[in-house]
Structure 1
């Protein structure tokens, strides 16, 4: 029953993910844990609480856009919606938690491996967002074409 409902409205999974990151921001103390990213000569240190807050806002923004397009009755491609939603969630969870999962496995090559994984996930995340924009624009053009006839 729940899976059938999520198949009809998969963007509700974004609302759930947003709530999880939002509550993680307030309830889980990370003891000033940081996400360390080293890209060529630039070394970035980002606090996990800030990353959780930004990810929660991004997921809620995506949920809002999908909800508005659903209320406007935009005809979008369901498979593209599902690819966007699930790839976005996997990429952002991977970006925020890669250092936690990879660190115990590779202690010698930790920084370079984590940086490569984060960069690949970031590029995939950006590519999926382009797919989202194309899908919404295609839905708008279909709606305009339908209204013009």
Structure 2
């Protein structure tokens, strides 16, 4: 008896989940269509308000404005930045770049003392290096 109640609860939960998911998908489709209709209307309104006065072009109907918007989207892209340039790819590339260059990165806070070091000890160390090198070359000959 207990397993039957458990199974009924699971089925009820799944039905509720799928109905909720289907409603969300349906709602999103309706919202996308309404948004597309609104964008078409805004393009038509802006074109008919600006273009005839500024450039002497004719006015557009609603469907011509939607077609113009679609044509512009085809020419200029749909907002992804081109083929293979999704935001997920950028994040992955950035992450891989950090991993590859992590070993090569240095702590540049040490560089503030570089000039002082070179003034104090660098010239002496360089002269000592030149003397050692000259001695080694003299011994090799």
With the shorter chain as reference, the TM-score category is under 0.3
* Greater percentage in helix: 2
Higher RCO (CA-CA < 8 Å; seq separation 6+): 1
TM-score (ref. length: structure 2) = 0.26
Greater Rg over alpha carbons, structure: 2
Quick check: which one's strand share is greater? Answer: 1
